Amino acid sequence: MTAEPVVPSRRREWRVAGVVFFCVVALVVLYATVMIVRPFLTAIILAAVLVTLTFPWYRRIRARMKGRSTAAAIVMLVLITIIIVLPAVIVSLLLIQQANNLVEHLQSGQAQQILRRIDIPAYVAWIKRFVPAFDPQSVSPERLFLPVIRQIPGWVARNGAAVVGSVAGAIIDFALILLAAFFFFVEGEAILDELKTLSPLPDTYDQEFATKFKDVVDATFRGQVMTSIAQGIATAAGLMIAGVPGGLFWGAVAAILSLLPMVGAAVVWVPATVYLYIDATMGHRGYGGAIFLTLWGVVVVSTIDNVVRPWAMKGKAQLPAIPLLFAVLGGLQAFGFIGLVIGPLVFSMLMTVIDIYKRSFRTRAGETSPG
């Protein structure tokens, strides 16, 4: 019994059906993979950023260890842990100590005497002439702050478990980052080679995208570090001019905290401003230092981020200052902390896509067009 010859049209139809079926299966698998990896996406991206920044060091350590990738990766993880965790623990302990001292001071009878001296109702009594229903005593510091101060112990007792849970969650997240970083250190070069094999783009454009990613990560890290240093210097200068004890030390703390966009140097200069106002109310100093530090913190320290970061990132990110500023702020709003990298990366990749399109398609169309 002879085999039925394959009709070319049926073969083409089978190829199209096979491609469609494969695409559907691939999309389903990719979607399921994204849903599985989604809870750990931030940890994976942060690990990729860490590995991208520190991979030259990893290569040197691996070379000294005669090509032992696993041992070199473990050494890198230990170094990263020391560099990140040790300053974070020291700053956290200092902040906890200062917070405990502040709470004890606020709960003392001395705090009530200070609040009584701040006679805000006397300064806003004139509002009652225009708004008869307004009660000047409603803005009295004793009414506004004393109930809050009395509730501090209860709040700590109610939310103690949540705070402990947050710390435990942060430790778990950091462990996940280290695990992902270990995998990228050991298998990173093989992953890049596999991506180049799978990519349908020419090797030149694959290399261009990889270079762009590395440049954006380097620029983001450089911008964050230089911004933190600038905010630390500005905070230290403001504290020293205002007469706050330990201005240089707390400026260094502000520089470390500035690495965290959701925290920032305000954790240092705002309590210092409150301290100066309280000290001035007790008659130990004038109000000039408190007013100066308030203006300095709002005008200089808080806005230096929007000036230094775009300037520091402008070189390798290859974006104008204003679009780069929107990329950073928009990335933070859309993706949180990791948006510091994703925002500039998306904008830079967009510029790369446009550039490749102009070079590959628009130029070719111009060459083939009449005239």
Q: What is the pLDDT of residue 339?
A: 78
**Best CA proximity match to 40, nearest among 137, 199, 183:** 183
Q: Residue ranges of the domains in the chain? A: 37-198, 200-360
CA angle 218, 219, 222 (to 5 degrees): 85
Q: What is the pLDDT of residue 185?
A: 92
Structure tokens given for 113? 């005497």
- Residues 291 and 276: their CA atoms lie apart, in Å, by 9
What is the model's pTM?
A: 0.66
- Residues 351 and 319: their CA atoms lie apart, in Å, by 9
| Rg value, the chain, Cα | 29
Q: What is the pLDDT of residue 370?
A: 47
- Residues 115 and 112: their CA atoms lie apart, in Å, by 5
pLDDT in tens, the chain (371 residues): 455 555 455 555 557 777 788 888 889 998 998 899 888 888 888 888 889 888 889 999 999 998 889 999 999 999 988 888 887 777 777 767 766 666 666 566 656 666 666 666 666 677 777 777 777 766 666 666 666 666 666 565 566 566 666 777 778 888 999 999 999 999 988 888 888 888 887 888 888 888 887 887 777 777 778 888 888 899 989 888 888 887 888 888 888 877 765 667 888 888 888 878 877 776 677 778 888 888 998 888 888 877 787 777 766 556 666 777 788 778 878 777 777 778 878 887 888 788 878 877 765 555 544 44
**Best CA proximity match to 80, nearest among 161, 180, 158:** 180
246: left (phi over 0), alpha (psi -120 to 50) or beta: left
- Residues with Cβ within 8 Å of 44's Cβ and at least 6 positions away in sequence, in order, are 37, 180
Q: What is the pLDDT of residue 159?
A: 61
Q: Which residues of 95-129 are buried (b: 16+ CB within 10 A; e: fewer)?
A: beebeeebeeebeeeebeebbeebebbeeeeeeee
Return the H-helix or E-strand segment holding 132: none
